[in-house]
């Protein structure tokens, strides 16, 4: 159901994206009307949350069946006081370590007269099931106290003044909650308030909060981000590089897929982000991860004889490399406002290419390089693939399928798509987008998760887990082999 306006973009960004999604190749294949319809659907679906919450299960620590049951018990306890405490958890039909929770929404929630305003990022998190943390609150009623029922609104354009008592600017309603702190505690001048400020009890989109829920056995992660680890296909004993590793979800997934046997080197420029990767690895009981605060564009040593453990590394040091590149992030959902200028939006391609040069040099011959982004632009996705194939003759595109894990077939069997062979994961995303000069065969080897291709504002979400493959964030994956 259409409940929010289309994503708010600067006019020049809107025009740029429109030119991308209505480029000559697209228009020749689909026609102006269909191309325009796809673009408008994209702008609308980006402001709405996906219809499923995706949880990656730590199957290196426990069987999926056991994690499934424990998660169900924990969420029932969490929602014991709610009248709507039915939790459905579905195993993904093909991805072996994913559990799916249908999102219920938008729900008929009545707005209250007492209003709290939160930042856009906080509002987006609420739509994915989070409570409101004190740091995200920008405005609240003058006399708000603990226990007050309030309506929560998201400030779309960032114009609300911190500490305000009312706000009449552009905002959207995301649900009702109970104040866990009074106003004076939230806006205390001595030090920033910490913890939950508003506990959501009537969210517009109902999805369980995962704050503190089975932290060693479950990890909230968008489905395409989980698919990346499987596409990389790490094997026990290998040495693998994650070039832009924060916050560490993919790093930890790689280590888990290897059975924590081998070495996963995680590079990140920010010291604070490195600490978060370490916390995640410790929480998930993974010991094969080694973290370094380092700029990955400089990660190749000019001295091939260098033998130090950390970066820079000699050329051809890694069996597999993941380049989950810094990007414009335009595929993230829900996102009601994107503040980047066109110059900022287009600034990522040169950085991604510098990282690509380092990645290819660090990869062994016969090794696998996976490139991924969480954005929708052609310049950061298919154009980068075309550039890489032209710049590095040693690279060839590879299919993105892998063997399926047999131990969970019993749990999956009732949900399996009979059209898919039981011994392979299907190619979950759509093929690459036209416009970069790639051949049809090359486009079919790519995975572009394009929520606008299947998104229907009038559709009932139902309980079909196959919809989770389409109704995701916007994402892109390419897999290369170095000859």
> Catalytic residue numbers?
374
| Contact of 310 with 292, CB cutoff 8 Å | yes
Residues with Cβ within 8 Å of 22's Cβ and at least 6 positions away in sequence, in order, are: 32, 35, 36, 39
Burial class (CB in 10 A: 0-12, 13-18, 19+), 36: middle
CA contacts within 13 A on the Cβ side of 314? 10
169 near 160, Cβ under 8 Å? yes
Query: 466 with 387: CB under 8 angstroms?
Result: no
The SS3 of residue 36 is helix
> Going by C-beta distance under 8 Å and a sequence separation of 6 or more, which residues neighbour residue 161?
138, 139, 167
Sign of CA dihedral 101, 103, 104, 109: positive
- 10 Å CB burial of residue 153 (0-12, 13-18, 19+) is buried
Rounded Cα distance between 197 and 191, Å, is 15
């Amino acid at each position: 159901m259409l409940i929010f306006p289309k994503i708010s973009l600067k006019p020049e960004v809107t025009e740029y994206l429109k030119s991308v999604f209505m480029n000559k190749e697209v228009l020749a294949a689909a026609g102006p009307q269909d191309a325009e319809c796809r673009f408008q659907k994209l702008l609308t679906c980006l402001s709405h949350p996906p219809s499923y919450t995706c949880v990656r299960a730590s199957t290196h620590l426990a069987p999926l069946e056991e994690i499934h049951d424990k998660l169900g018990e924990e969420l029932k306890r969490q929602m014991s006081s709610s009248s709507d405490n039915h939790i459905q958890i579905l195993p993904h039909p093909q991805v072996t370590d994913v559990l799916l929770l249908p999102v219920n929404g938008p729900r008929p929630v009545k707005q209250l007269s007492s209003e709290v305003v939160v930042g856009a990022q906080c509002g987006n998190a609420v739509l994915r099931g989070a409570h409101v943390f004190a740091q995200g609150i920008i405005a609240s009623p003058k006399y708000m106290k603990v226990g007050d029922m309030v309506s929560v609104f998201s400030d779309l354009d960032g114009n609300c003044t911190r500490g305000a008592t009312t706000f009449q600017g552009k905002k959207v309603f995301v649900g009702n909650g109970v104040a866990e702190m009074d106003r004076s505690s939230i806006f205390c001048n001595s030090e920033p308030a910490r913890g939950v400020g508003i506990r959501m009890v009537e969210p517009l989109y109902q999805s369980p909060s995962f704050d503190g829920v089975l932290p060693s056995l479950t990890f909230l992660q968008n489905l395409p981000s989980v698919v990346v680890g499987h596409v990389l296909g790490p094997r026990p004993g290998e040495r693998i590089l994650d070039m832009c590793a924060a916050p560490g979800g993919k790093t930890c997934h790689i280590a888990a897929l290897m059975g924590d046997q081998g070495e996963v080197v995680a590079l990140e420029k920010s010291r604070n982000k490195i600490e978060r990767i370490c916390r995640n690895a410790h929480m998930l009981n993974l010991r094969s991860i080694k973290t370094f605060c380092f700029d990955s564009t400089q990660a190749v040593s000019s001295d091939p004889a260098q033998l130090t453990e950390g970066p820079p590394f000699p050329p051809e040091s890694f069996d597999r490399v993941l380049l989950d590149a810094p990007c414009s992030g335009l595929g993230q959902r829900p996102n009601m406002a994107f503040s980047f200028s066109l110059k900022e939006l287009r600034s990522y391609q040169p950085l991604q290419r510098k990282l690509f040069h380092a990645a290819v040099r660090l990869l062994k011959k016969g090794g696998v390089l996976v490139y991924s982004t969480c954005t929708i632009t052609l310049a950061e996705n298919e154009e980068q693939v075309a550039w890489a194939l032209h710049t590095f003759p040693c690279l060839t595109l590879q299919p993105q399928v892998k063997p399926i894990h047999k131990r969970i077939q019993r749990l999956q069997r009732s949900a399996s798509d009979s059209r898919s062979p039981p011994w392979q994961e299907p190619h979950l995303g759509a093929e690459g987008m036209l416009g970069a000069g790639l051949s049809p065969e090359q486009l079919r080897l790519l995975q572009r998760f394009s929520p606008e291709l299947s998104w229907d504002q009038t559709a009932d979400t139902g309980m079909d887990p196959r919809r989770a493959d389409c109704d995701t964030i916007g994402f892109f994956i390419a897999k290369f082999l170095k000859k």
